[in-house]
Structure 1
Amino acid sequence: MTQHVTEKDVRAIAEYARIGLTDEELPQMTQDLNAIIESLKPITEYDLDGVEPTFHPIGDLSNVMREDVEVPGFTQEQALSNAPLQQDGSFRIPSILGGEA
């Protein structure tokens, strides 16, 4: 099998990606990465002369999000209108640590 990446390359990639590889894992990871790269070799055999690069599979994709426009929100009274418990203009919820609700 062709060696595309060395143990030194794999160690550098692991450090860059902040992956902790031990000295025992390094040879196996190097072998695995070389096998993965080798499995992609048939892709290089396609005749791609005249094929334009595609940067997005959908083509000319535009932002479909709406403009971020500020709109009036609820008043404090509206927000609290359906609250089962209120106290001093705020929602009152049961204590999760025990004690009073």
Structure 2
Amino acid sequence: MTEHVTEKDVRAIAEYCRIGLADSEIPQMAADLNAIIDELAPITEYDLDGVEPTFHPIGDLSNVMREDVEGTSFTQEEALSNAPKQQDGSFLIPSILGGGEA
């Protein structure tokens, strides 16, 4: 097996990705990554001359969102009509940080 990734590389990658690896896990992770890279080696043997690179699997798809169009909306009274609690024209919700009662 070729060493594509060293233990030093694994430590740098883990630090960059903020993955906590114990010192005892580093050698196995390096071996696993090298095995994965070796398994992918046959991909480099494909004849790709004349094949245009693609950056999105669906082609020229640029935006799948609809246009933002203004429409009718609720009045403040309608929006608050089913609220269990309200205060000063706003929804009153329990505090998630504590220190307040709703």
TM-score (norm 1): 0.75
Residue in 2 aligned with 1:43? 43
Structure 1 stretches lacking a partner, 5+ long: 94-101
Structure 1 residue 74 displacement after superposition: 1.1
CA offsets 1:11-57 (integer angstroms, 9 cap, x no match): 00000000111110000000000001110011011011111101111
Whole-angstrom CA distance in 1 between matches of 2:7 and 2:75: 63
CA offsets 1:43-75 (integer angstroms, 9 cap, x no match): 011011111101111111131312234445211
Whole-angstrom CA distance in 2 between matches of 1:11 and 1:85: 52
Answering whether residue 25 of structure 2 is matched by residue 3 of structure 1, we say: no
RMSD: 2.5
The aligned amino acid for 1:29 is M
The aligned amino acid for 2:77 is E
Structure 1 residue 77 displacement after superposition: 2.6
Whole-angstrom CA distance in 2 between matches of 1:60 and 1:91: 43
Whole-angstrom CA distance in 1 between matches of 2:84 and 2:8: 63
Structure 1 residue 76 displacement after superposition: 2.5
Secondary structure of the residue aligned to 2:56 is: coil
Identical-pair percentage: 78
The aligned amino acid for 1:21 is L
Structure 1 residue 86 displacement after superposition: 6.2
TM-score (norm 2): 0.74
Residue in 2 aligned with 1:97? none
Structure number with larger C-alpha Rg: 1
Larger helix share, 1 or 2: 2
Whole-angstrom CA distance in 2 between matches of 1:43 and 1:76: 60
